[in-house]
Amino acid sequence: MEYVRAFLAGGVLCAIAQLVIDRGKWTPADVAGSLVVLGVLLGFGGVYDRLAAWAGAGATMPLSGFGYWLAKGVMAEPRPEGLIETGAAVFRFAGALFAFIVAGSFAAALICKPKG
């Protein structure tokens, strides 16, 4: 059942991150950054493709999924070559998410004040 797999994969990733944060050596921002980089590394290695095929959103929703989108942009065919193509390819998939979050955040700030 794919929902169970998504639940398990996403839940386990979050629980591990929680334990790392609670251990107290790394701040939440450190853990978030590490997760993204981990997603990039596993994305290049091809491991994340298999994880995403198995767990679906359970792999792409955690922050490592953002790293996966970044890596996937470079790894997807046709493979980019050189500075210009590689730089653009990084945003091939992640860019959709990134642009939406930036624009959405700005829009939220246009409308809302912090509630405290």
Partner 1 sequence: MGLKSDYLREVKAFQPSPSYAANAVKAFLVGGTLCALAQWLSDWYGGVFAASPLAAQLWASIVMAGLAIFVTAVGKYDDFSQFAGAGATMLIMGLANALASAAIEHRSEGWTAGVAGQMFKAGGASVIYGLIAAYVLGLVWP
Partner 2 sequence: MKRVGKQTWVFDDGVYIQAAAAVVGPLEADGPLGSYFDICHRDLYCGEATWELAERRLMREAVDCCLQKAGVSAEEVDLFLAGDLLNQNATSNYVARELPIPFLCLFGACSTSMQTLAAAAALIAGGLADRALAATSSHNATAERQFRYPTELGVQKPKTATFTVTGAGAALVGRAPGRWRVRAATIGKVVDAGLKNPLDMGAAMAPAAADTIEQHFRDLGASPGDYDLIVTGDLSRVGSVIVRELLAESGYDVTDVYNDCGLMIYRPDQKVLAGGSGCACSAVVTYGYLLQELARGTFRRLFVVATGALLSQTMVQQKQSIPAIAHGVVIEADGQEPG
Among 14, 20, 21, 37, binds partner 2 (CB under 8 A): 21
Contact 6, 57 (CB under 8 A): yes
Residue 45 interacts with partner 2 (CB under 8 A)?
A: no
Report the partner that residue 41 touches, choosing among partner 1, partner 2, none (CB closer than 5 to 8 A by kind). partner 1
Asked if 114 touches partner 2 (CB under 8 A), the answer is: yes
- The residue written with tokens 């890596």 in the block is 71
Residue 112, phi then psi, degrees to nearest 5: -115, 150
The answer to whether the CB of 82 falls within 8 A of the CB of 64 is no
Which residues have a Cβ under 8 Å from the Cβ of 47 and sit 6 or more positions away?
Answer: none
Question: CB of residue 58 vs partner 2: minimum separation in angstroms?
Answer: 20
Pick from partner 2, partner 1, none: which does 111 bind, CB < 5 to 8 A by kind?
Answer: partner 1
User: Which residues here bind partner 2, judged by CB under 8 A?
Assistant: 21, 28, 113-116
